[in-house]
């Protein structure tokens, strides 16, 4: 009775294939998507790249406080609305 009791159960492997068999490992991972590194994974994130004509240019523009406060009070997208107003003015003056 002083002997240590051991369990006869064996732990199941956490992989669904025989890890000792190279052929089983390759067969399991045959349908996996291969990638070459982190650069490829990061390239899929974010917004798609725009062409040179579609890109916007960042500038510093001085505007009266009241005008800026009014646009900001309209909610998100206020910079896009300012851009639309400037485009409309440009098109109206042609």
Per-residue confidence band for 72, with pLDDT thresholds at 50, 70 and 90: very high
Give yes or no for residue 13 having a pLDDT over 60: yes
pLDDT: which is higher, 67 or 46: 67
- Going through 10-94 in order, the beta strands assigned E by DSSP cover none
The structural domains of the chain, with segments of one domain joined by +, span 64-94
Helix, strand, coil in percent for the chain, rounding step 5: 40, 0, 60
Position 3 scores a pLDDT of 73
Q: How far apart are alpha carbons 31 and 91 in whole angstroms?
A: 54
Q: What is the pTM of this model?
A: 0.48
Q: What is the secondary structure of 7-50 as a DSSP string?
A: ----PPPSSSS-TT-HHHHHHHTTTSPP---HHHHHHTSSSPPP
């Amino acid at each position: 009775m002083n002997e240590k009791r051991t369990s006869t159960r064996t732990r199941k492997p956490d992989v669904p294939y025989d890890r000792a068999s190279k052929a089983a490992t390759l067969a399991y991972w045959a349908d996996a998507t291969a990638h070459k590194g982190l650069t490829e994974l990061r390239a899929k994130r974010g917004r798609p790249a725009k062409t040179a004509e579609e890109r916007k240019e960042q500038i510093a523009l001085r505007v009266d406080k009241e005008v800026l406060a009014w646009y900001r009070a309209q909610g998100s997208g206020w910079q896009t609305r300012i851009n639309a107003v400037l485009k409309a003015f440009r098109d109206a003056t042609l």
